Amino acid sequence: MSEGMEKGAEAGWEGKVDGVLALALGILGRAVQEASARMSACPGALGEVEKMIQRRVREAGALLFEASVASAGRGYEGSRGLCRCGGTSKYMGDRERDMVSLLGKTRLRRAYYWCPQCGQGRAPLDERLGIAGTDFSPGVREAIGLVGADVAFQPARTLLGRLAGVWVSARKHREVSESLVQSAGAALEGHPVRGTVEGADPQRAPDLYLLADGVMAPIRGGWREVKLGAVFAAPPRRKRQEKGKRKQRGKPDRGRARFFGDVMEAEAFGEQWYRWAEVMGLGRARRVIVLGDGAAWIWNQAQTHFPGAILIVDFYHALERLWTVAHAVWGEADPRAASWVRSAKAPLRRGDIPRVVALLRDLPARNNATRKIIEEAAGYYANNADRMRYRHFRRQGLFTGSGVVEAACKRIVAQRLKGTGMRWNLEGLRSILALRLAIINGDWPAAVPRAA
């Protein structure tokens, strides 16, 4: 507590607004005098003066904040009260505690109750203020969650301390960040907080795109797959034709994507996928398009929840598979690999999958391992032929790439959860994932009411 705050506490300032304002103005007045003197003596001390004023403003703000909290009373509810266990709790007097706020430490005095039946104590004021069971104000917890969702906990400690003047241990950063998931449960459990069909013409039903992918994340003792989904709407492509020119075709415009994900089985993913699709306009969509990398679980869930949807294998995954085969046959440095991929890419772009399969089966197999890679690839293309009609899809004005969810795998999972040496417990991984989803979807702080 600052010197000014201690004086205010001794004077018993509760409700004395004029006295509190006088103390705060005194702090700010001295700051102005110190800053003016320092700048007159040394104009190059701008940065030093800036930080000094910031400290003084926080000191004055802490004084006002503490007085404001005190105006909420002590939380006294009589000599006895009802405990959550059903027993009767007894007033044991007032007790003091510290709370860390964005303005510094704040001293609270509040009524304390104890229940002899369950042996638990409680302070009603803590519950009203949303600080029961924590040393941190809602603002500090929100700040910890924001930085902890974006960077590792030790750098997060330094970042928050340098920028906000709030220094919290890395361990506390982890604990608070992970506890926030209790309020961000909507993002974690796949219940959309809100959703809008952005980028769509209200006069024309949009196309709804549903994307899915999986990415491995490290946990203690191994790895687990995080399944990520993305949903966005796009207006049907307008056909424009200028006089004397051919019709122009191009990629459709898309609205903002919304993301969801968790460490979960395919069936649970499918259920969440459907809920997000409903929120994002499934009921009025002109067409429903599912884009994936060819994994069987994606198509199974798509056929279960979106029968009649247009299914498309991401073109770049299909192309990447050609490179994998070429490198297995000739090696990565041999120019024949690139030459063969160019010859196979043209029919792939046309959606001429029988031709692609024929080119694969004409390849020389140096050994059984290479032969197996070729045969598996030929089966992959043959089994997905209907989902690889790329020329047809482009003429329909459809996206044929799943780059939106591919980028999300890197941005949401890899950048934060796959750092060097990181090994998560499962609940910690899921918690940080939920926070990142809430932030990226724009559901923060709506998904984290009172940052509790």
pLDDT per position as a tens digit, 207-225: 999 999 999 999 998 999 9
Concatenating the DSSP letter of every residue in 88-116 gives EEEEEEEEEEEEEETTEEEEEEEEEEE-T
Q: What is the DSSP letter of 208?
A: E
Which 3 state secondary structure label does DSSP give 444?
coil
Q: Is residue 385 part of a domain?
A: yes
Q: Tokens in use for 432?
A: 């940080």
Domain check: are 27 and 50 in the same one? yes
Domain check: are 371 and 351 in the same one? yes
278's enclosing H/E stretch is helix 266-279
Q: Is residue 277 part of a domain?
A: no
Domain check: are 334 and 395 in the same one? yes
Domain check: are 334 and 390 in the same one? yes
Q: Is residue 405 part of a domain?
A: no
Q: Name, in order, each residue with C-beta under 8 angstroms of 295's C-beta and a sequence gap of 6 or more.
A: 212, 214
Which of 185, 83, 73, 65 has its CA nearest to residue 128? 73
Number of structural domains (the chain) is: 3
pLDDT of the residue at 419: 87
pLDDT of the residue at 326: 96
Which 3 state secondary structure label does DSSP give 398?
coil
Which of 219, 154, 233 has its CA nearest to residue 433? 219
Whole-number percent of the chain with pLDDT over 90: 71
**Interval 421-438: pLDDT, tens:** 899 999 899 999 998 998
Which of 255, 260, 261 has its CA nearest to residue 217? 261
Domain boundary among 400, 427, 444: 400
pLDDT of the residue at 235: 82
Domain check: are 54 and 128 in the same one? no
pLDDT of the residue at 192: 59
Domain check: are 32 and 45 in the same one? yes
Q: Tell me if the bond preceding 445 is cis, omega within 30° of 0.
A: yes
Domain check: are 351 and 362 in the same one? yes
**Interval 162-199: pLDDT, tens:** 999 999 999 999 999 888 876 555 444 555 544 444 44
Q: Is residue 422 part of a domain?
A: no
Q: Is residue 274 part of a domain?
A: no
Q: Is residue 58 part of a domain?
A: yes
pLDDT of the residue at 111: 95
Domain boundary among 385, 400, 415: 400
**Interval 11-26: pLDDT, tens:** 444 446 778 888 999 9
Which 3 state secondary structure label does DSSP give 217?
strand
Does the pLDDT value for residue 307 go beyond 90? Answer: yes
Q: Is residue 286 part of a domain?
A: no
Q: Is residue 391 part of a domain?
A: yes
Domain check: are 84 and 48 in the same one? no
Does the pLDDT value for residue 203 go beyond 60? Answer: no
Domain check: are 321 and 393 in the same one? yes
290's enclosing H/E stretch is strand 287-292
How are beta strands 207-219 and 258-262 bridged, if at all? Answer: unpaired
Domain check: are 60 and 116 in the same one? no
Domain check: are 395 and 360 in the same one? yes
**Interval 56-71: pLDDT, tens:** 999 999 999 988 898 8
Domain check: are 326 and 393 in the same one? yes
Full residue range of the structural domain in which residue 340 is found: 315-400
